[in-house]
Each structure stands twice: as structure tokens, then as C-alpha cells.
């Protein structure tokens, strides 16, 4: 199985709060997990990525927490801003070139 | 950052016709990809291309699909003939290396294909 699952499907948080987006996968051969941010009418853009040898990756307000044993990861966005409103995709790949994508979480930040 | 361009942004055609989607990848990138996205749903991998050859393709990459990049020009996705279920947004991506942590894929803005 190569599925990547994301939850919730949509999430609304207030400006300044922390948004938590979840992702899980089934294929234990996956070792690279990028998160992409997509605004309406645009292509996705890489936001932050983690390798399976790490359990945490931080970049400014964005942090990935990775649990290899449970095959789960989460993206935490602290101090959420209205400009963070977008759809976030979790993806995964192994030794081949394919990125397997989750179905996305639509994040809305209320001012 | 590096830009991937896609032409046209929107294409409307009748079922059974041929369509060619064009992608201008990042100039020094060597690996090229096509993805299909229906109505803002998850991105689905179609194919990747390197050194003039298809490296991998998914089940969605039907016999009616073909890709090429003649002489470093546009990386193209051709569908011939088109079917109603081909209606989607097609995203092109490129990367400097293939696979893994360092193979960041840069995406174009997409071509919305509507098959009537």
C-alpha cells in the first residue's frame, strides 16, 4: 500500500494560535516527507521537509514532528497568520522518484 | 525562487481531440514530472522523465498519453485522443536531482484542461 492520509480535511484557527495538521502513511519504505503549501490557482510550493532519520524539523513558525514507529507526522504552524490560509499537502517518497500525496488539509486563519 | 511556467493556463477541447500541454521547467533542472489534480483534491503522479526517457509512470498514464522534451525545449504532455475523465488541472514540476531529500520539485501554476 502506498497511501498517505491527512486529517483534518479542513481546519479553522484564530490568528496567533497554533494549527496542527496530521499525516500518516502505510509504506515503511518511505523516507522523505515534504509538506507543500498551495494557494488557490497556484501550483504547490515546498514548505518544509523531513527525512525519516529525524524526529523533528523546524523552520521558523513551521515544525514537523515525525514518529517513525507509528508512521505518523504532523505539521505545527505557530503564531498562525491570515497569510497562512492555504491547502497543505503531506507527501512521501522512498527510493524511487514518485511523490505520493495526501488529500490535503484546507487551513483557514481567522483574523 | 526558480519558476516553472505552463502554457496554456486553460484549455477547452472536445472529447476525442488531441491536446498538448506545455511546460517550461527551471533552466538547469534535469528531471521533469507531470501530475494530475482533480477539483483541488490530492495530486496524483503521472510520469517522470529524465535524459529523454520515461523513468516511471503510474496507472493513470494511459496509452493515450505521451511525453517528450525535444532538444531542451518545452516538456510536453500530449493526450490523444482525450476523454471526459481527462478533465483536471495538470501540473508540471522539475527538479535538479531525482528522488529523495534533495530532489525538491518545483511546480508550475498548472493547466486547467476541460474536455467537453
CATH code of B15's domain: 2.60.40.10
Output the pLDDT for position A37. Answer: 96
All structural domains of chain A? 4-110 (2.60.40.10)
Q: CA-to-CA distance for B20 and A105, rounded, in angstroms?
A: 31
Average of pLDDT values for A102-108?
95
Q: How confident is the model at residue A85 (pLDDT cuts 50, 70, 90)?
A: very high
Residues of chain B found within 8 Å of residue A96, distances taken between Cβ atoms? 56, 99
**Residue with cell string 514537523:** A64
Q: How confident is the model at residue B79 (pLDDT cuts 50, 70, 90)?
A: very high
Average pLDDT, chain B: 92
Q: How confident is the model at residue A98 (pLDDT cuts 50, 70, 90)?
A: confident
Output the pLDDT for position A99. Answer: 86
Domain residues for the domain of B15 are 5-115
pLDDT of residue A46 exceeding 80, the answer is: yes
| Cα torsion through B80, B94, A4, A18, rounded to 10 | -130
A99/B45 CB distance under 8 A: yes
Which residues share a beta bridge with B47? B34, B57
Strands A56-59 and B5-7: unpaired
Cell of A52: 525519516
Q: CA-to-CA distance for A97 and B55, rounded, in angstroms?
A: 8
Cell of A11: 481546519
3-class DSSP assignment, residue A105: strand
Q: Which residues of A touch B (CB under 8 A)?
A: 31-32, 34, 36, 40-46, 49, 51, 87, 89, 91, 93, 95-104
User: CB-based contacts of B92: which residues, under 8 Å, 6+ apart?
Assistant: B4, B6, B21, B23, B25, B32, B33, B34, B35, B75, B77, B107, B108
Average of pLDDT values for A24-32?
92
Supply φ then ψ for residue B84, to 5 degrees.
Answer: -55, -40
pLDDT of residue B72 exceeding 80, the answer is: no
B62 CA: distance to closest CA in chain A (Å):
17
Residues of chain A found within 8 Å of residue B58, distances taken between Cβ atoms? 98
Average of pLDDT values for B107-114?
96
Shortest CB distance from A97 goes to which of B55, B91, B107? B55
Cβ atoms of B76 and B67 closer than 8 Å: yes
Cβ atoms of B44 and A103 closer than 8 Å: no
**Residue with cell string 534533495:** B102
Share of chain B above pLDDT 70, in %: 96
Residues of chain A found within 8 Å of residue B93, distances taken between Cβ atoms? 43
Quote the number of domains for chain B. Answer: 1
User: CB-based contacts of B71: which residues, under 8 Å, 6+ apart?
Assistant: none
pLDDT of residue B90 exceeding 70, the answer is: yes
Amino acid at each position: 500500500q502506498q497511501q498517505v492520509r491527512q486529517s483534518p480535511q479542513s481546519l479553522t484557527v484564530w490568528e496567533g494560535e497554533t494549527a496542527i495538521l496530521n499525516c500518516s502513511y502505510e509504506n515503511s519504505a518511505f523516507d522523505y516527507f515534504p509538506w507543500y503549501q498551495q494557494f488557490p490557482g497556484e501550483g504547490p510550493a515546498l514548505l518544509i521537509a523531513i527525512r525519516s532519520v529525524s524526529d523533528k524539523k523546524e523552520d521558523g513558525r513551521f515544525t514537523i514532528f515525525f514518529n517513525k514507529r507509528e508512521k505518523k507526522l504532523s505539521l505545527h504552524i505557530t503564531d498562525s497568520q491570515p497569510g497562512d490560509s492555504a491547502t497543505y499537502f503531506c507527501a512521501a517518497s522512498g527510493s524511487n522518484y514518485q511523490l505520493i500525496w495526501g488529500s490535503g488539509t484546507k487551513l483557514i486563519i481567522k483574523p | 525562487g526558480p519558476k516553472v511556467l505552463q502554457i496554456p493556463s486553460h484549455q477547452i477541447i472536445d472529447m476525442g481531440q488531441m491536446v498538448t500541454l506545455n511546460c517550461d521547467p527551471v533552466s538547469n533542472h534535469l528531471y521533469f514530472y507531470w501530475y494530475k489534480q482533480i477539483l483541488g483534491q490530492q495530486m496524483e503522479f503521472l510520469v517522470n522523465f529524465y535524459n529523454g526517457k520515461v523513468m516511471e509512470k503510474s496507472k493513470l498514464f494511459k496509452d493515450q498519453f505521451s511525453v517528450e522534451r525535444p532538444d531542451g525545449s518545452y516538456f510536453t504532455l500530449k493526450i490523444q485522443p482525450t476523454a471526459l475523465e481527462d478533465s483536471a488541472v495538470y501540473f508540471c514540476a522539475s527538479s535538479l536531482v531525482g528522488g529523495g531529500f534533495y530532489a525538491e520539485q518545483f511546480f508550475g501554476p498548472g493547466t486547467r484542461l476541460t474536455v467537453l
